[in-house]
Amino acid sequence: MSKWGIPHRKHRCCTFGKNSWRRQKVSKERCGVIGIYAFDENWNVARFIYYGLVALQNRGQETCGMAVFDGKNMKVIKGRGLAENFFTSKNLEEARGWAGIGHVSPLNPRRDENIQPVYIGDDVKVALGYNGRILNHKELMEGKFESEEDAIAVASLLAKELRRSDPLEAMESVMEKMRGAYSLVAFTDKGEMVVARDPKGVKPLVIGSFGFDHGAVASESAAIDVIGADLKADIKPGEIYAINQYSIERKNAFKDKERYCAFEYVYLCRPDSVINGRSVYDVRIRIGEYLAEEFPVDADVVIGVPETAIPFAMAYSNATGIPIHMGFVRSGRSMRTAIRPTQFERLVGVQLKLNPIRQAIRGKRVVLIDDSVVRGTTTRNIVNIMRNRIGAKEVHVRIGSSRLISPCPFGVEVPEKDELIAAHLTEDEVSKVVGADTFAWLSLEGMVKATGFPRDKLCMGCFTGEYPYLEEGA
């Protein structure tokens, strides 16, 4: 009997040989990075980095940090908790400098020194923050010392290469050795910023500017907007930037077939971001339209689970003619319950973050729209609230993504397959488990069409179990 009360069935499980990434004790991170470089030493970028990190808080709420350079020294400030709580006027003033990088993460490393940005090196010191996962990070350490942190391995190797090469060549040499999906920003104690994106572009990274005064890079364009910069472009897959006070150099070092992360559009990104030339909001509107086309139902009201699913619900309502109502109000700070560290925190988070509007739900046939279902805990609790506490007549659940059936080797904090409800149960079985009248996931075809990319340009491993880099062994 499964943990959901349904008899077990046999399922194909993806493995990748004896060195499977599932057996590695490497941190899984779905993070946010930002880097700002002012070409005027009178600027102080610490507060800009801070606001950028607050804008990227959707990508990680457990740790945050920044490394700021004043022309002589690198000041690294990092710790646990939300950026808006950890950073203060005092420590931001202490971090004065005209260039620097920042990072947010959804996980707590065991040791404080492993919170990013990491700062490492001998003759050349490097501060580095990245989003993603390096599959061969232990090989990169070359047996020098043990570390479970990808970032330390990459920073150590980059510092070594910088002793004999310029930043562009050094980063290219590092990327030749790395296998995995990543976007990263690094800063040296010589005043040089290095920016890179993996050759398939799995992880997003964009670049912007404040006229001729600042350059800025970030995981999402929303962070560029928030700090008052203008979005210029996506950093291309395999592209490297090297920035110093006198020049900006870039190189398309590695040309490979794009495999953009589909889950970024469904769940991870803010709706006001533009990544890979696609508006996240527009993609989510199309998802709602396809969801209505594939799974219509007779109902009185459409309700979206805040916040990611609201565009899905708006489009579903427009397509079906069923009115949309505001069914829940967030109580307290927004939390991503699917990425809370423990089951207890996820359960508490569900209760804390959503307070139902009874008048919108009681006695009605409700179409409940959500962005994804991981374990089913959140969906079950929401349906229970609507049906048993409020008195909804019917609850029909529609999910704006395909079945989430496999963990992600590239840093998205998706649980192991045993915990994924979609990997084990049919839609009818899930409907019974969560207490809904009907339940449906968006089809893979519908999700792909909504992104506007052909399927072979997307990484859909968490929905299919097939992954770039792993499937090619390179």
Is residue 473 one of the residues assigned to a domain? Answer: no
The answer to whether 237 and 222 are in contact (CB under 8 A) is no
Is residue 430 one of the residues assigned to a domain? Answer: yes
Q: Are residues 96 and 175 in the same domain?
A: yes
Query: What is the tens place of the pLDDT at every residue in 119-147?
Result: 998 889 999 999 999 988 878 776 554 55
The ranges of the chain with pLDDT < 50 are 9-29, 145, 474
Is residue 17 one of the residues assigned to a domain? Answer: no
The answer to whether 431 and 318 are in contact (CB under 8 A) is no
261 tagged catalytic: no
Specify which residues 119 forms β-bridges with.
Answer: 127
Q: Look at residue 147 in the predicted model and tell me its pLDDT.
A: 56
CATH number, domain at 406? 3.40.50.2020
H or E segment at 80? strand 74-80
CATH number, domain at 108? 3.60.20.10
Q: Which of 31, 64, 459, 462 is catalytic?
A: 31
Q: Are residues 88 and 219 in the same domain?
A: yes
Amino acid at 312: F
Is residue 340 one of the residues assigned to a domain? Answer: yes
Q: Are residues 81 and 124 in the same domain?
A: yes
Q: Are residues 209 and 301 in the same domain?
A: no
Is residue 319 one of the residues assigned to a domain? Answer: yes
Which of the listed residues 202, 223, 256 is the one where a domain comes to its end? 256
Is residue 203 one of the residues assigned to a domain? Answer: yes
Q: Are residues 245 and 293 in the same domain?
A: no
Angle, in degrees to the nearest 10, between helices 310-320 and 280-294: 50
Q: Are residues 247 and 338 in the same domain?
A: no
Which of the listed residues 241, 256, 271 is the one where a domain comes to its end? 256
Question: How many structural domains comprise the chain?
Answer: 2
Q: Are residues 310 and 393 in the same domain?
A: yes
Q: What are 152's two structure tokens? A: 């330390």
Cα 53 from Cα 334, distance rounded (Å): 15
Is residue 69 one of the residues assigned to a domain? Answer: yes
Q: Look at residue 334 in the predicted model and tell me its pLDDT.
A: 52
Q: Look at residue 12 in the predicted model and tell me its pLDDT.
A: 36
pTM given for the model: 0.89
Q: Are residues 324 and 380 in the same domain?
A: yes
Q: Look at residue 340 in the predicted model and tell me its pLDDT.
A: 54
Q: Look at residue 5 in the predicted model and tell me its pLDDT.
A: 65
Cα 119 from Cα 134, distance rounded (Å): 18
Residue 1 makes CB contacts below 8 A (sequence gap 6+) with: 7, 8
Which of the listed residues 224, 256, 288 is the one where a domain comes to its end? 256
Q: Are residues 412 and 339 in the same domain?
A: yes
Domain that holds residue 429: 279-457
Residue 388 makes CB contacts below 8 A (sequence gap 6+) with: none
Q: Are residues 330 and 203 in the same domain?
A: no
Q: Are residues 200 and 347 in the same domain?
A: no
Q: Are residues 58 and 139 in the same domain?
A: yes
Cα 135 from Cα 241, distance rounded (Å): 23
Q: What is the DSSP string of 211-228?
A: TTTEEEEESSHHHHHHTT
Is residue 134 one of the residues assigned to a domain? Answer: yes
Q: Look at residue 322 in the predicted model and tell me its pLDDT.
A: 99
Q: Look at residue 148 in the predicted model and tell me its pLDDT.
A: 58
DSSP E strands in 106-150: the ranges are 118-121, 125-134
